[in-house]
Chain A
């Protein structure tokens, strides 16, 4: 039996999860502003000794295969690029959520982090290879955070997966999102309002978390970004990187064609690039202790 939950219950769950550090919050806000400069990123990272150490560990991990060790933070940041810096900062603060075993989805330890990282890379590749005007860095960050709501509601879905799959196969429920709503009165995109307040998330990111399964409902100014992450999410699942029983059980909104030109050959190249980059990044994060 499942219990219905509401905003108050979600608020309690959010209160029990770690806050983002001041530097992670600042990085999120700065990098979603189109007019920011790399110098600002360096300045923020420098104020946080733990983050500085992590950034240097990642850049010097064997996965990047650098011949000479990078000891200067400025060089490390320009080598890794701002999206990875934001990724390291968020991954570090919210590792408790990202690494939560999603029992409600019958997912394994680390599945959420791997899915989010793969979606981040795929969203970036989608905007890059479809000549979109969206910043690849923003698409990466939004992809990284898009499914964080699953960590908040997973426990309430405990023991429901096989019944949900049966209902979807019998066409009694249209997809996994509707199943979450039907079972507990709350789907994984809806926890965003509370989380956005506590984590001070930028609007663009909030919109992606809320509408990544219903991109046509996003506000016009964010639609293209939301569609990019919608595709990135599906590409990550197609690559075998889902979060458990719900993998590939969501609908693809074909109206993405209005916002981006992604032909079959471009999609195949996106999938190739995603696989290569994912293997490298997953290794570098693991070596630096980010995803443990």
Chain B
């Protein structure tokens, strides 16, 4: 089975039957998964930080790093597969955004990532139909192009679906 593996700040899409789009070990990072039922395309971006204002140069080099530049970049990528460039008709799922224990505001990057992503999605009129966010554990996420189903795994836990 073919796999598209995405690293931190990467985004990608596939409409190839049998393929899966995967990212490893999301800690405080969030994976935004977009499913387009019309074109049967699956897209994912591995967002590391909430806002690109902290490093504009980086957001040009790797827009997927930040929530505010990563989602538009993923939508542009999916438009190449015939999807609506504004995300119309797409299904959204979110995973990741964990935090370390007893953390203070500064270190709640997982929570801030999730909030920032939801704000950006809201601007497009999109909202998540399913989410697996927060907690104190890392997640590996893979999405099947055939079914749009997400399989999550984390060391010490049985796999689960979203």
Contacts and interface: CB of A to CB of B under 8 A. Distances in A.
A269 B156 contact: no
Contacts of B157: 162, 165, 245
A244 B156 contact: yes
A252 B27 contact: no
A268 B103 CA distance: 15
B114 to A, nearest CB: 14
B101 A252 contact: yes
A241 B48 CA distance: 13
A262 B27 CA distance: 20
A162 B155 CA distance: 8
A252 B107 contact: yes
Contacts of A168: 136
Contacts of A194: none
Interface string A30-57: 0000000000000000000000000000
B156 A239 contact: no
A249 B54 contact: no
Interface in A168-217: 168, 175
**Chain B, interface size: which category?**
35 or more
Interface string A247-264: 111111010000000111
A22 interface: no
Interface residues of A, number: 36
A175 B101 CA distance: 8
A10 interface: no
Nearest to B136: A248
A95 interface: no
A250 B101 contact: yes
Interface string A80-99: 00000000000000000000
Contact of B106 (A105, A107, A264, A279): A264
Interface in B3-21: 7-9
A251 B101 contact: yes
A244 B105 CA distance: 25
Interface string B99-112: 11111111101100
B156 A106 contact: yes
A268 B100 CA distance: 15
A265 B54 CA distance: 6
Interface in B54-68: 54-55, 58, 65
A119 interface: no
A249 B98 CA distance: 11
Contacts of A234: 100, 107
Contacts of B74: none
Contacts of A250: 100-101
Interface string A231-244: 00010011111101
B104 A240 contact: no
Instruction: Specify which of A105, A245, A268, A275 lies most central, judged by the most chain B CB atoms within 10 Å of its CB.
Output: A268
A279 B48 CA distance: 15
Give the most central of B100, B154, B155, B158: most A CB within 10 Å: B155
B102 A252 contact: yes
Contacts of A244: 155-156
A269 to B, nearest CB: 6
A262 B105 CA distance: 12
Given A162-B157, A238-B98, A248-B100, 19 more contacts: A106-B155, A161-B155, A161-B156, A237-B100, A240-B8, A240-B26, A241-B25, A241-B27, A244-B156, A249-B137, A250-B100, A252-B101, A254-B102, A267-B106, A267-B109, A268-B51, A269-B55, A272-B65, A275-B48
Interface of A: 105-107, 161-162, 164-165, 168, 175, 234, 237-242, 244-245, 247-252, 254, 262-265, 267-269, 271-272, 275, 279
Interface of B: 7-9, 24-29, 48-51, 54-55, 58, 65, 98-107, 109-110, 136-138, 154-158
10 contacts: A105-B155, A106-B156, A161-B155, A237-B27, A238-B99, A238-B100, A239-B48, A240-B27, A252-B104, A254-B103
